[in-house]
Amino acid sequence: EKGNYRHFMQKEIFEQPTVVAQTLRSYVRQLEQAVALPQFDFDLSGINRVTIVACGTSYYAGLVAKYWFEQFARLPVDIDVASEFRYRDPVLEPGGLALFISQSGETADTLAALRHCKAAGQTIAVVVNVPTSSMAREADLLLPTHAGPEIGVASTKAFTCQLAVLAALAAHLAVKRGRMSRAEECEVVAQLIETPSALNAALAHDDEIAAMAHLIAPARDVLYLGRGQDYPLALEGALKLKEISYIHAEGYAAGEMKHGPIALIDEAVPVIVLAPSGPLFEKTVSNMQEVRARGGKIVLISDAEGLAEAGEGCLATIEMPKVHPLIAPLVYAVPVQLLAYHVACAKGTDVDQPRNLAKSVTVE
């Protein structure tokens, strides 16, 4: 039931602090300040490579995880969308972990890729929201998200719960491989525990985002820019917007702008920039200047520090809490979801049942 909400998608966006906390309870031992996976028989310390396969929003969660596995666990990661992976004869060597991410656990291409990897002798890990699904049954290592049923066709709470599990998995692998000290593990746990309150702080901007929706709703095209682990969020923001508002949107790595997409920029193309302050911020600010010099209108999503430095002259800004890089992708997911949601409402589209889309894609 939708309760006080107008749409399931809206309800599910607002459930995120609760369901992310619920999911993390299975992956974090708060008293011991340790990450811990659900009980299983494998020793992951021998893993030498990770292959991530998923579709759509779940694939974008995998893209974020690639940064984390490489950065924290120093594990090489290959990642692909399932419909490509299956048909490209990927190199799968012994000792590999194949990781599948899916809300439904039934997406046909992802399931076929799982079976392909299993036949090729990979250890199969699955991050899945439906515990009775085919993927859950066929996993060696089942990593459930506890998002509860996701009814809105556009995935929201499943995504942030996937990210929470993947962050814990990255930390677990890092500890197992001797790449993360006890002090660093404690820090990761502390950050993960902070996530629900950071999500609440992000949700507090709902009214403000609703009020700016009319600035985006008339656009024919919208660009989303991000860098590093926030680049997949740009892709996710664009996907959410196109799915439910039918506005053409593209996500780009901020530094790629000048290699082509900048040709699209004019006053009519809003550019949504996702950029927490930090070591890469200056680079993104110079990309913003390139956009502005061509008349582009920017919506900057950043923290207080970032907005103080680069908020001036923007069409609009959305202030996120200042968070650790590990949880930034979860927190920045909220404003892009809300923006897509309110733009779709402003356009009067069917938010929960967008045209041409099905909740679970069980055909190839």
According to DSSP, residue 262 is labeled G
Residue among 172, 194, 195 at smallest CA distance from 34: 172
337 is a site residue for ligand F6R (CB under 6 A): no
**SS3 helix, strand, coil % of the chain, rounded to 5?**
50, 15, 35
User: What Rg, from alpha-carbon coordinates, does the chain have?
Assistant: 20
Q: Minimum distance between the CB of residue 239 and ligand F6R, rounded to whole angstroms?
A: 6
Q: Which span sits near ligand F6R by CB under 6 A: 54-62, 227-235, 265-273, 293-301?
A: 54-62
Counting Cα atoms < 13 Å in the Cβ hemisphere of 40 gives: 17
Question: Any contact of residue 317 with ligand F6R (CB under 6 A)?
Answer: no
123 binds ligand F6R (CB under 6 A): no
Q: Does residue number 154 form part of the binding site for ligand F6R (CB under 6 A)?
A: yes
Of 288 and 344, CB closest to ligand F6R: 344
Per rule CB under 6 A, is residue 56 in the interface with ligand F6R? yes
- The answer to the question of residue 104 lying near ligand F6R (CB under 6 A) is yes
The continuous run of DSSP H or E covering 299 comes out as strand 297-302
Among 10, 57, 160, 191, binds ligand F6R (CB under 6 A): 57
Please tell me whether residue 248 adopts helix, strand or coil conformation.
strand
Going by C-beta distance under 8 Å and a sequence separation of 6 or more, which residues neighbour residue 198? 321, 323, 327, 330, 331
CA distance 29 to 191: 13
Q: Which of residues 209-248 bind ligand F6R (CB under 6 A)?
A: 239, 243
- Tell me which residue has its CB nearest to ligand F6R: 56
At 23, give phi and psi (nearest 5°): -65, -45
Among 16, 23, 58, 317, binds ligand F6R (CB under 6 A): 58
Query: Considering CB under 6 A, how many residues would be counted as binding ligand F6R?
Result: 15
Active site residue 359: yes
Phi, psi of 253 (to 5 degrees): -70, 130
Least Å from the CB of residue 197 to ligand F6R: 25
- Nearest to ligand F6R of 57, 123 (CB atom): 57
Contact call for residue 287 and ligand F6R (CB under 6 A):
no
Angle at 80 between CA 43 and CA 21, to 5 degrees: 60
DSSP state letter for 121: T
Q: Note whether 103 binds ligand F6R by CB under 6 A.
A: yes
Q: Which two tokens stand for residue 229?
A: 């682990």
We find the least distance from the C-beta atom of residue 277 to ligand F6R, in angstroms, to be 28
By annotation, the residues acting in catalysis are 359
By CB under 6 A, name the binding residues for ligand F6R: 55-58, 102-104, 107, 110, 154-155, 239, 243, 360-361
